[in-house]
Amino acid sequence: MSIHVVEVRYRHDDLVRGPVHEADAYREAGVFESAGEPVSYAAPVLRDDTYATDPVGTLGTIGGQIADEVAKGLKQGKRVVLAGGNCNSLPAMIGGLQTGLGQTERIGLVWFDAHGDFNTPKTTLSGMLGGMPVAVSAGLCYGDWRMASRQDVPLPTDRIVMVDVRNLDADEDKLISATDVAVVPVAGQELAEAVNALAERVDTIYLHIDLDILDESYVPTHRTKEPDGPDVETTQAAMNVVLDTGKVAAIGMVSVYPNGDGGEIAIKAASDLLRESVQRWKTA
């Protein structure tokens, strides 16, 4: 199994700086070596002259570059791993899948996160763009961000399975409930039934993991960490349910903060999850 790793070194429109970047840590730990074939790497670069005058425009610019690299890997017959960045990469990942596999490809999303990121400008309490990417991909807001990220076709909500999302804003929860999005716990029969039902009606699945799905003790440096979350083993078992469908074409591991007090705990958790997932992916 050949893997194309897209290393994203931006969160929003800021270059991530620090002595450690998660993509470098994954390389040093040999996370992708179990794929069994040479691994290719790409790191989109946002040049100073490509910055937009507004954050949404910049996210679209970054998203377009990420999507192009995702499509490149898929067209070479490789599976794709997104390493770095944050949840705002979602439209780019779906856009890359659409570009690389064709607009008629039926794409599904399995979203592992402590949050739904399904807010719109009308429901958000904070105004954070990082709380909106699933709504953007579903075509509910910021169409310019989605289109610039090469996602021409909105993602139907009946092709979205959210896992855990234990902290939802009240209006966000109402919005999700008004759609066909499936929300399931991180363990149990409900998860397996939702994932298998999704796999039956799509051609391809994107498996997205925000590391804050884990209990806050595993992600002490995360900016949106939440209590009462699962451990690494429980999360991996749930991810394996998705991988075992045989339809996962891309995995994204985002919002990993390896710098600061406890950063080594977060990068170990992310590395362990990715390493095990690559091994499971190979046999799925």
CATH pick for 3-283 out of 3.30.70.940, 3.40.720.10, 3.90.1520.10, 3.40.800.10: 3.40.800.10
- Those residues whose C-beta lies under 8 Å from the C-beta of residue 46, and which sit 6 or more positions away, are 10, 13, 15, 58, 61, 62, 65
Residue 216's contacts (CB-CB under 8 Å, 6 or more residues apart) are 222, 225, 226, 227, 229
Beta bridge partners of 240: none
- Determine the pLDDT at residue 275: 96
**Tens digit of each residue's pLDDT (9 = 90 or more) over 217-234:** 999 999 999 999 999 999
d(CA 149, CA 161): 21
Question: Is residue 33 very low, low, confident or very high in pLDDT (cuts 50, 70, 90)?
Answer: confident
pLDDT digits (tens, 9 = 90+) for 126-156: 999 999 999 999 999 999 999 999 999 999 9
What's the confidence (pLDDT) of residue 204? 98
Q: Band of the pLDDT at 51, cuts 50, 70, 90?
A: low
Domain ranges of the chain: 3-283
Predicted pLDDT at 49: 62
When pLDDT is cut at 50, 70 and 90, the band that residue 39 belongs to is very high
pLDDT band for 54, please (50, 70, 90 cuts).
Answer: confident
Q: Residue 27 is which amino acid?
A: R
The proportion of the chain whose per-residue pLDDT surpasses 90, expressed as a percent, equals 86
